Structure 1
Amino acid sequence: MYLPLRSISVFHAVARSGSISSAAEELNVTPSAVSQQIQALETHLGTSLMVKVGRGVALTEAGERYFSMIAEEIDRISEATQSIRGLRPVTLLTVRATPTLSSKWLLPRLRSFLDANPDLEVRLNGTNEVTDFTRETVDVEIRHGRGQWPGLFTEGLTEEWFFPVCSPGYAAADSMNVADVAQHRLIQSVKSQVQWPYWFSMSKITPPNQMRRVLFDRSHMAVDAAADGIGLALESSLMMWRELRDGSLVCPVRKPPKISQTTQWIVCPVDHLRKNKVSVFIDWLRAEVAQWQAEQAQYLRLPF
């Protein structure tokens, strides 16, 4: 149904001010243009809305009823229009990453990206669900895995080191031999690519038939459990860098085996790389990784 929105707006201005000339001045048009719009609206509605009274106008009964029905909505539209004027355009960048990487590594660094890119609005989707780029509106993903996803742009985020850690209140740094580890409660993230049996095999130690374990489905839970003194966790330097830096986690094992892997990958369709927001984000990721690697070499006490 056709709505004469211009005429409705003019009627609202006249009814509110009680004067055609005042409404014309407010709308920056001539009084005759205002009168023409009122006549057009009356023709459209099939009824008279106002009559001249002296140098002003008065609403008819139909005009009063019509004004009472539209006034609040017109005011709301006016307020919405004024509030949105002058706002800068915002581009949404949707990033998907694993929950642990999102909370432990990405989120603490995100402010620098937002400050450097004020025209970008970031939606960070922390999940282990693999993105179906043909159906989901995700721009770029940092995916956990082994980097084998044909047809997609794939770049390893960084090399990670895996070693046992615990709260310094649980055991001091360098206080154990590798053979002592099996005597402790072992914290394990079930989705980690490096598990305790592999660590024992790399240490050339036969683990006990029944290990005392506590299992979590998220690495950040395993990191927090170790910091809380529950036992020994086998985790990635990427995921626990802050706890290592702050001293809430230490490696209690002298000369643990050197185990490194790349488990986090920048992934997106190749054509997404042509989007400025995606290329800017990936460049920022690379710079942050380089800075993290430098800080790791300078400040983190790795056991190798």
Structure 2
Amino acid sequence: MSRTIRRQAPPLEAIEAFILATRSSSFRDAADRLALSPSAFSRRIQALEAFVGVALFVRDKGSVTLSKTGERYLRMVEPAIDSIRRATVDLQAERGGMALRVVVPQSFAIGWLIPNLPDFQHKHADVKVELRIGRDIDDLRRGHADVAIYVGPGNIGSMPAIRIAPINGVMVSAPVLASGSAPPTSLAELPNVDRLAVYRPEGLWERWLRNLKYDGPPLAPPTYFEAQFLMFEAAAAGLGVAIVAPILAHRLLDQGRLVRLGAHEAPLGIDYYLVSADEAVQRRPDAIKFRKWIGEGLARFS
């Protein structure tokens, strides 16, 4: 007589769909990311709920949210699935052919990393690098990336991190302002010019002026930009003065589109770190090569 052994765990594709649903704006979005039709994706979720015998989502008038049971189930299964994904990626990397997946802020990617990547490829033709634009390190926690260029200090938990460069700021503008006047060369002239800034990182002007012990009159609020490279271009167009990190703006400075104003330079209170997803990634040959190369490349800005 044959015996039927009941499965103790649901299919991995159902768990994958469940976790992705919790990380997406909707079931439709999650289905698109798995290249499934919405109905096929919903069937995976329904199959998982049938397997565990309880509803994991609350469905109400077209909206879907995690139930209390779903939240508890997610806390238990998500680390396990991420561990499986991480172990698989690490094993593939050991065999070769896997890319080193790097999360990097857009400003650093445009200002330094991408222009210098040909040098890395020339020196390490055996290593393939894939870039993912981002400001935080959640992709490391979720197993979607191996290392991240991170602007800190900040909360990185127990993930290994190495400080690769301090971020100092200098004051810059176009050689001639859009008004036709010469740019300022001293802090005392700042009340007479427009200042440019970015939303993130916050407070760069304030920290820079505080570190230089500025004691002049209060300054008008700066004009804000969404991204560093937009602020750089605005400064190069003569729209005002900006505080920039030479690491990011060195090409515009070398081209003469931006000029340093005076000899003022001060720390911005933040540094660049290279964060690894875990110690196994930190020990990988491709990660070691990338870490050594980027450290040497940024040394001139230290």
Q: Does TM, normalized by the shorter one, top 0.5?
A: yes
Q: Which runs of 5+ in 2 are unaligned?
A: 1-95
> What displacement does 1:106 show?
0.5
Out of 124, 148, 154, which is 1:141 matched to?
A: 148
Query: Which residue identity does 2:142 align to in structure 1?
Result: R
Q: Which amino acid aligns with 2:218?
A: P
Higher CA-based Rg: 1
1:185: which partner in 2?
194
Q: Give the Cα separation in 2 of the matches to 1:263 and 1:247.
A: 26
Unaligned segments of structure 1, at least 5 residues: 1-88, 298-304
- 1:154 matched to 2:161: yes
Asked whether the equivalents of residues 147 and 154 of structure 1 are also in contact (C-alpha less than 8 Å), the reply is no
Out of 222, 226, 240, the position equivalent to 1:231 is 240
The structure 1 residue matched to 2:116, chosen from 109, 114, 118, is: 109
Contact kept, 8 Å, 1:187 with 1:232, in 2: the verdict is: yes
Q: What is the Cα-based RMSD across aligned positions, in Å?
A: 2.4
Q: Could you tell me how far 1:147 is from its partner in structure 2?
A: 5.3
CA distance in 1, matches of 2:141, 2:208: 38
* Matched residue type, 2:295: R
Share of identical aligned residues, percent? 21
Name the counterpart of 2:215: 205
Deviation at 1:212, TM superposition (A): 4.7
1:265 corresponds, among 268, 273, 288, to 273
Cα shift at 1:275: 1.5
Q: Is the 8 A contact 1:92 1:123 kept in 2?
A: yes
Q: Is the 8 A contact 2:207 2:269 kept in 1?
A: no
Deviation track 1:149-200 (CA, whole Å, cap 9, x = no partner) reads 2311111121232121101122657x53211112211100121355223333
Alignment correspondent of 1:256: 264
Query: Runs (4+) of structure 1 moved beyond 6 Å?
Result: none
Greater mean alpha carbon deviation, residues 195-204 or residues 111-120: 195-204
**Could you tell me how far apart the structure 2 residues matched to 1:198 and 1:107 are?**
28
Instruction: Work out the CA distance in 1 between the residues paired with 2:290 and 2:145.
Output: 13
Alpha-carbon distance in structure 2 between the residues aligned to 1:147 and 1:285: 21
Contact 1:147–1:265 (Cα < 8 Å) also in 2:
no
TM-score, with length taken from structure 1: 0.60
TM-score (ref. length: structure 2): 0.60
Aligned residues: 202
